[in-house]
Amino acid sequence: MSSPYSGATPVGSSQGYAEATPTAPVGAQPNYAADYSGSMGTPTTAEGRPDVEGTSVGQLIGEVTKDLSVLMRQELELAKVEVKAEAKKAGQGAGMFGAAGFAGYMVLMFLSIALWWALSHLVGHSWSALIVAILWGVIGAVAFVMGKKKFQQVNPKPERTVETLSQVPGALKPN
């Protein structure tokens, strides 16, 4: 469908998204930032309004529907990218918790036995076991605080998507 109003047409192209041929390599992420440039190639009158003379209302509604569909797909893709980045941070934090736990276990096992044995000659077996347990409790607390700090850096809310979606209702209102 070709009309004077082609709001969903990429800059430099006279065809709509459905008719355009992809130029990106297979597997490449699309760059939607270029589509937000504000210059969509829509013809305008001298007053700056869209030149829709000779275009039927049905064609205009079809173009608006297509534009909204493209916008929603782009916003969904942006949200996916943002959530994926935050999930990666959460995974790194979880990995640090796991590594701290495993390292703590190994160190606890070998050094605790050695320290307990060494201290038992000075204060007895019971007191030396208590001293070793308190020492490893402090180390576990430090590892927990570090993992908690990493999780606090995670932001599950896709900030850019929320920002651009808040602009959509204003863009739909007539001037």
- Residue/partner pairs of 43-46 with CB below 8 Å, 24 or more apart: 43/4, 43/5
**Confidence (pLDDT) at 142:** 92
Residue ranges, the chain, pLDDT below 50: 1-22, 32-39
pTM of the predicted model, to two decimals? 0.38
**Confidence (pLDDT) at 114:** 86
Domain boundaries, the chain: 86-152
Q: What is the pLDDT of residues 87-137, one digit of tens each?
A: 898 899 889 999 988 988 887 788 788 888 888 888 888 888 888 888 878
Largest separation between any pair of C-alpha atoms in the chain: 100
Q: What is the DSSP string of 88-146?
A: HHHHHHHHHHHHHHHHHHHHHHHHHHHHHHHHHHHH-HHHHHHHHHHHHHHHHHHHHHH
